[in-house]
A and B are shown apart, each in its own frame.
Chain A
């Protein structure tokens, strides 16, 4: 009985794999829009400081509480700061903190999931029971608790993101590893004397990558959300940083006077999160990964 070529296997293999994945991402309108928006935000984060008309904390008291205009596209806040510039500059903050945090979580989670679930036994049992304990707490609650102990700072937000997301990533990886490690080609590699790292990296990891890529995108979107929430609750990045969550927190008091100062960062967060989710969805379809619930 002939096995038909599996498109999932093909898409992640060969010299044109990247181009093929990209084309698949742009094949559907949802993921095309999402991916373009994410690319746009990343670009803004990179060049924001170059194009922002004002500094993040540059105050012009005479122009405080200005509604949006051509000169001030998003208006000014109660302290006379340019909201457009702050949103632009805040993009780098949130993208870098959320991005770095989810990247570290994905790398560590993948390593932990790969190694412990491949080895199995007591190591796996202990690791995942510990992860279960971490998962029992909602991410935001865990973050608030830890930041309360460690004190609010950018570095601590990174630590919190990592702690909150490593267990989730490890679980996703584990589900794939448990399936792959019983495959005959893994047994064949072992019988050919391939050492553990070679088996893990060449035989097991490639099968994990599609699911991992989708999970990384999802983690990124949740991390943006979490960083913004922490900023809003005052437990994350501290004033006067142009953090979007923090901006919402500050503008909230003046919601009736300067609604634009509240709306701009809120819309920015929503658009970015939705865009990343759309991209993750497209990625999952392109790589044929079934998306989990979380």
Chain B
């Protein structure tokens, strides 16, 4: 197969790509690089206003261009299939999963006749068996139950498996997967990625895998094509691409990704400066020239060709021979390492932020009858007895799957949500649970940066106005001149030009918006900053810039950070201490270096082994969680993790809540299994994790 499309405002330009049967090609790039457009173009499934200007798509040597719509429909039914990003949005909510999968059984008359009458006729029986076999093949254990369910009754991971089963039902030659795991938890993602790998080997299907994550692609694909601003800039086998990238952009992407075990002060991330050019304003020369650290005059003037650098390797860069020869380092010169992190004497021995036995339950509505009979209301236990401490100058990383209570904890800490029990203290002084009851003078000491950069700023205020508000309200700035000066210095602190003060959020990119949100949180010079998934929605290159910024700000201002993220690699990079949460409880906590080393809590072990890493061969023995987390309404007795725990001891875990165990490294683990036994049973998941965050401060100020 080969394509070479280019569309509308030229979303894509001269892209050639082959996918061989039984192999997977990963398509990576930042948002706006045109990767989804390419995926859809490959299916001839462009949206109404999209058009292929020039170029063609071939499948098995036959051109797909100019096919009639009936022929295209047949193509989609039998030969190519798409697995979309959001399975819930692509499954019909009013049909059972079984019927939808049956509709996808192409070339099988039983499947097609079974439509509408599945389960009634003998042919329907055959369709039903086929559906069940298909569901079982994607690792859905209870296929009969799943087939009878409606999409909303399934978890996200199961929905994605169903979507994959639907796609496989046609025994397609080509499977296009558009960010199929982006919305999934890391543990679920890992099982889906394993499945993709396995299916490819078993069915010989060609897979085009679109993802923004290099690490995910490393785990599933044989080859990677890097797309930038609608152009293919590099195409190489996975291992070679990661070991020896030839294009400066690829190098930049790799340097933006935090590795577990990377010291954020000695070896900071190197973000790619600047922004991806808009499709209608591409530079005449190399599309990457404006952001390239090694661009020369020729790069701005002349568009490089896609050269064959080696067998199976292509790169679009004028300077690749120098890079390949090792005479040119395509990296941005690293910023001088941040000055040595001096251990701060804790203020009066009190942690900057301490959370004690915090619980939050949301009562479920009960029927009138139950209320009359005074049955106790059942409740969702979003947070159960969580205790944490954050010290000045240190970062506490909070990790866990979605639904583990991380965000609830953050909102309780800052007072946006009123906890059911427990307390929050700032530098030893207890805070009122409700935000409106807290002393205004102290509000500035605790601030939060939110997840969604687009919603964090009032769209009707300019950046300057947004920043001036906390200055005026909490920081005591009065005169216009003083406010203006402080707004300017805040923007400077987050590396934004002063002219941004006059802009509205709609004119900023996601990364810029998040920088403004950080500047706003810094306006009151808080001693504690809470980050709730604050970099999760950003491209890796932008995320790297923000992570470096946070490191630098912390070194300058000695703030205590509570950093919440589902991304373990980011947390491992940024945090001095880590707390792992599961179903509203903290199951393990301690210095980062200790948490990343055995003995692990079995849940931590599963989380860590699910983290996709760049090294395609380096994935040691992996622990996979099967099944879904139990509902937070009907928590099982005993250890809440026992239903999924690969190391469950059986009856003891089902009956009794686990005790807290502590080891010499200062970490605590809630598990029935003694730590000495865990340490012998487990292998270290990261070879170099031992030194992570173990600066001079790591041991010194450990609680």
Residues of A within 8 A of B (CB): 1-3, 5-6, 9-10, 12-14, 183-185, 187-194, 202-203, 206-207
Contact B524 A187 (CB under 8 A): no
| B427-481 residues at the A interface, CB under 8 angstroms | 435-436, 440, 443-444, 446-448, 450-461, 469-470, 473-474
Query: Which of A14, A184, A190, A192 interacts with B450 by CB under 8 Å?
Result: A184
Mark interface residues in B484-511 (1 if CB within 8 Å of A CB, else 0). 0000000000000000000011110111
Contact A191 B416 (CB under 8 A): yes
B643 on the interface (CB 8 Å rule)?
A: no
Distance of A2 Cα from B506 Cα, bound (Å): 10
Contact A206 B452 (CB under 8 A): no
Neighbouring A residues of B474 by C-beta, 8 Å:
192-193
B414 on the interface (CB 8 Å rule)?
A: yes
Contact A1 B460 (CB under 8 A): no
Distance of A192 Cα from B447 Cα, bound (Å): 8
Contact B416 A1 (CB under 8 A): no
A3-B513, A184-B450 are contacts. A194–B504 as well, Cβ < 8 Å?
no
Contact B460 A191 (CB under 8 A): no
Neighbouring A residues of B416 by C-beta, 8 Å:
187, 190-191
Contact B447 A189 (CB under 8 A): no
Contact B443 A185 (CB under 8 A): no
A205 to chain B, nearest CB (A): 9
B539 on the interface (CB 8 Å rule)?
A: yes
Contact B506 A187 (CB under 8 A): no
Distance of A282 Cα from B450 Cα, bound (Å): 36
A1-B537, A5-B506, A12-B460 are contacts. A191–B443 as well, Cβ < 8 Å?
yes
B435 to chain A, nearest CB (A): 6
Contact A3 B460 (CB under 8 A): no
Distance of A2 Cα from B505 Cα, bound (Å): 11
Contact A1 B510 (CB under 8 A): yes
Identify 30 residue pairs between A and B in the complex whose beta-carbon atoms are under 8 Å apart, listed by A's number: A1-B510, A1-B537, A2-B275, A2-B511, A3-B454, A3-B513, A5-B506, A6-B459, A9-B459, A9-B505, A12-B460, A13-B460, A184-B456, A185-B456, A185-B457, A185-B458, A188-B448, A188-B450, A188-B517, A188-B520, A190-B416, A191-B414, A191-B415, A191-B443, A191-B448, A193-B443, A193-B473, A194-B469, A202-B460, A202-B461
Distance of A192 Cα from B414 Cα, bound (Å): 11
Distance of A6 Cα from B537 Cα, bound (Å): 18
Contact B453 A3 (CB under 8 A): yes
Distance of A13 Cα from B461 Cα, bound (Å): 8
Neighbouring B residues of A185 by C-beta, 8 Å:
455-459
A210 to chain B, nearest CB (A): 11
Distance of A188 Cα from B459 Cα, bound (Å): 13
Contact A3 B510 (CB under 8 A): yes
Contact B460 A192 (CB under 8 A): no
Distance of A12 Cα from B504 Cα, bound (Å): 11
Neighbouring B residues of A191 by C-beta, 8 Å:
414-416, 435, 443, 446-448
Contact B435 A190 (CB under 8 A): yes
Neighbouring B residues of A184 by C-beta, 8 Å:
450-452, 455-456
Distance of A185 Cα from B454 Cα, bound (Å): 9
A5-B506, A5-B507 are contacts. A189–B458 as well, Cβ < 8 Å?
yes
Neighbouring A residues of B96 by C-beta, 8 Å:
none
Neighbouring A residues of B460 by C-beta, 8 Å:
9, 12-13, 202, 206-207
Q: List 13 additional contacts besides A184-B452, A188-B448; criterion CB under 8 Å.
A: A1-B31, A2-B510, A3-B454, A5-B506, A9-B460, A13-B459, A185-B456, A185-B457, A189-B458, A192-B473, A206-B460, A207-B459, A207-B460
Neighbouring B residues of A194 by C-beta, 8 Å:
469, 473
Mark interface residues in B344-355 (1 if CB within 8 Å of A CB, else 0). 000000000000
Neighbouring B residues of A206 by C-beta, 8 Å:
458, 460
Mark interface residues in B386-428 (1 if CB within 8 Å of A CB, else 0). 0000000000000000000000000000111000000000000
**Shortest Cβ distance from B524 into A: residue:** A192
A257 to chain B, nearest CB (A): 59
Distance of A268 Cα from B458 Cα, bound (Å): 43
Distance of A156 Cα from B172 Cα, bound (Å): 73
B32 on the interface (CB 8 Å rule)?
A: yes
Distance of A2 Cα from B537 Cα, bound (Å): 9
Distance of A89 Cα from B454 Cα, bound (Å): 52
Neighbouring A residues of B443 by C-beta, 8 Å:
191-193
B86 to chain A, nearest CB (A): 14
B440 to chain A, nearest CB (A): 5
A201 to chain B, nearest CB (A): 11
Distance of A203 Cα from B537 Cα, bound (Å): 23
A192 to chain B, nearest CB (A): 4
Neighbouring A residues of B513 by C-beta, 8 Å:
3
Mark interface residues in B507-540 (1 if CB within 8 Å of A CB, else 0). 1011101000100100010000000000001110
Contact B509 A6 (CB under 8 A): no
Distance of A194 Cα from B461 Cα, bound (Å): 15
Neighbouring B residues of A188 by C-beta, 8 Å:
448, 450, 456-457, 517, 520
Neighbouring B residues of A207 by C-beta, 8 Å:
459-460
**Shortest Cβ distance from A196 into B: residue:** B436
A202-B458, A207-B460 are contacts. A192–B506 as well, Cβ < 8 Å?
no
**Shortest Cβ distance from B473 into A: residue:** A193
Neighbouring A residues of B444 by C-beta, 8 Å:
192-193
A115 to chain B, nearest CB (A): 15
Q: Which 8 A-B pairs have the closest CB atoms?
A: A5-B506, A206-B460, A184-B450, A9-B459, A3-B454, A192-B470, A2-B509, A1-B31
Neighbouring B residues of A202 by C-beta, 8 Å:
458, 460-461
A184-B455, A189-B469, A191-B443 are contacts. A9–B506 as well, Cβ < 8 Å?
yes
**Shortest Cβ distance from B453 into A: residue:** A3
B510 to chain A, nearest CB (A): 5
Mark interface residues in B604-631 (1 if CB within 8 Å of A CB, else 0). 0000000000000000000000000000
Contact A10 B506 (CB under 8 A): yes
**Shortest Cβ distance from B504 into A: residue:** A13
Neighbouring A residues of B450 by C-beta, 8 Å:
184, 187-188
Distance of A275 Cα from B142 Cα, bound (Å): 61
Distance of A189 Cα from B466 Cα, bound (Å): 9
Distance of A189 Cα from B468 Cα, bound (Å): 12
Contact B537 A193 (CB under 8 A): no
A283 to chain B, nearest CB (A): 18
